[in-house]
Copies of this chain bind each other. A is one copy, B any other.
């Protein structure tokens, strides 16, 4: 074994070239192919030496002795973080995306669905979106509405316009006074509370307090508790998953299991910090697909993180092309969802277009 291997500029250039070629062709890349590239001036033999060094450093690997090199995920990581410079989208591409996702009057729900559809179509990968996360919203209203014999509907509304309801059957009917007491109590305890703060213990206490007044009220509190769980649960939509099955480099069984259970996806999306990020299946314990990569970015609503938008594909994916798309879409969605003039509370189904 020789001494320390140094990563010089040429080696990085070669690494980038290998990744580009591999992404383009899907075949392991040999020294000869690299030497033919315009921006590489050295001979195949030199490249061979450098490639051997890059392999020793863990950036490249050989499927078998007499094959070309393939980037390792460490190689991709370096490529993405340091070597690659994705070009800007052309105006034409931007307009195309704009047309696909909708405008200010498009409901948020539809906006992110359209964005997912656009990503699916353009990238030929799977797209994943999460709903506007209601974390930063607060409970704005709780109603209990009698609808039949011992039957009540609970209505929970948040400041972000999320509405949940649930039917609840009690053992006894409530008279006006009791209903009033309950509604007041709940309003006092929940109004203005952030969705994030709602906890099981909190509801346990409320059950205790309410039961002291009237035992048979506790199912209502439990109902509200369940609704609040629904609220905290962010919805996640995976679309274009058939594209994942078309990828030869992904294990079909893993893909199938992933499509079914979406293991670890929610965490992966949640964990992402600001800006665009690329994560590899290999780097994450929970995210199930081995050779996959997730390109994800969070969109914002009125300056606050509201949800994520991402593309799932094989590790061998055209990052240069996809990253600008995801970046553009998230910023566009952030813009479309935010209110320039006032802080309007728009729910996922609010119809702002009120004229006939």
Contacts and interface: CB of A to CB of B under 8 A. Distances in A.
The dominant DSSP class at the A interface is mixed
Contact of A147 (B141, B242, B352, B354): B141
A253 B257 contact: no
A351 interface: yes
A67 interface: no
Given A157-B153, A256-B242, A257-B242, A354 B141 contact: no
Interface stretch (A57-65, A164-172, A309-317): A164-172
A148 B182 CA distance: 22
A334 interface: no
Interface string A252-269: 110011011000000000
Contacts of A148: 140, 345
Nearest to A355: B171
B140 A147 contact: yes
B141 A145 contact: yes
A117 to B, nearest CB: 12
Interface residues of A, number: 48
A213 to B, nearest CB: 15
A160 to B, nearest CB: 11
Interface string A344-355: 010101111011
Interface string A221-246: 01100000000000000011110011
A321 to B, nearest CB: 24
A356 to B, nearest CB: 6
Nearest to A154: B163
A167 B161 contact: yes
A137 to B, nearest CB: 12
A318 interface: no
A339 to B, nearest CB: 13
B260 A253 contact: no
B256 A168 contact: no
A218 interface: yes
A324 B168 CA distance: 35
Contacts of A170: 354
Given A140-B147, A153-B163, A245-B260, 5 more contacts: A151-B350, A153-B157, A167-B347, A207-B356, A256-B256
Task: Give 5 closest A-B pairs by Cβ, nearest first.
Answer: A242-B256, A242-B260, A245-B256, A167-B347, A167-B350
